[in-house]
Amino acid sequence: DAKTTQPTSMDCAEGRAANLPCNHSTISGNEYVYWYRQIHSQGPQYIIHGLKNNETNEMASLIITEDRKSSTLILPHATLRDTAVYYCIVRVNDYKLSFGAGTTVTVRA
Amino acid sequence: ETGVTQTPRHLVMGMTNKKSLKCEQHLGHNAMYWYKQSAKKPLELMFVYNFKEQTENNSVPSRFSPECPNSSHLFLHLHTLQPEDSALYLCASSQDGGGLAGAREQYFGPGTRLTVT
């Protein structure tokens, strides 16, 4: 699976949009971009995934660049409960979720 | 609630004990997974079961023994563990664990916090 690069940490203000970047310059044509998050001491939670097109669900939006070498997860209105580690994962199939260090997002009141 | 339950939530065991972790999924999924998360380390995949058959063993020591009696239940049997095995053990499931393209999301349980003394 392609390697991903994410910032180590970021802060955002409650009620504002949080934009989380992810670089995956070695992504291949059949690899999906997945986002999960892990709130402290809980199991990871699936957020969203996409292949080429931008995606939106009740939790977030995923913007994938046209060349697919990077993506951005957008939390439209961050709340304190969105404080978590966010993982960007690129993979071709549903085995071997490979979690890196992720981005620690702290939402501040 | 993700539809994946794990018991116990916390476990303290000595190095000579034998214990088992249990995972149950109520989602009708075909694949189940065990992950290990040590302190300040990324999650590590341990085992994958697809339709009750083990399809992945990520070089896990034999003191960890998985069992999958059916697609809804997954166990991790523990014996003669070491203190460095203390970690959060997470179970997950997904719809179609065939290693196929067109990936499915995984649903995680809350984990079992294991402490080996």
Report CB contact under 8 Å: A46, B104.
Answer: no
CA–CA separation, A73 and B106 (whole Å): 18
Contact residues, chain B, for A84 at CB < 8 Å: none
What's the pLDDT score for residue A95? 67
Contacts of B31 in chain A (CB under 8 A): 94
Is residue A93's pLDDT more than 80?
A: no
pLDDT attached to residue B72: 95
* pLDDT tens by residue, chain B, 117 residues: 789 999 999 999 999 899 999 999 999 998 899 999 998 788 899 999 988 888 888 889 999 999 999 999 999 999 999 999 999 999 999 886 555 555 578 999 999 999 999
**Average pLDDT rounded to a whole number, residues A61-82:** 96
Which residue did the predictor score with more confidence, A92 or B87?
Answer: B87
Which residues of B lie closer than 8 Å to A, measured between beta carbons?
A: 2, 4, 31, 33, 42-43, 45, 48, 55-56, 88, 90, 92, 94-111, 113
Q: Which residue of B has its CA nearest to A87?
A: B42
| Cβ pairs bridging A and B (under 8 Å) | 69
DSSP E strand stretches across chain B: 4-7, 10-13, 18-25, 31-37, 44-50, 53-57, 64-70, 73-79, 87-94, 107-108, 112-116
Contact state of B103 with A45 under an 8 Å Cβ cutoff:
no
**3-state secondary structure at position B85:** helix
Cβ neighbours, 10 Å, residue A58 = 5
A68 versus A100: the higher-pLDDT residue is: A68
A6-10, A93-97, B41-45: the lowest-pLDDT one: A93-97
- In angstroms, the CA A34 to CA B73 distance is 26
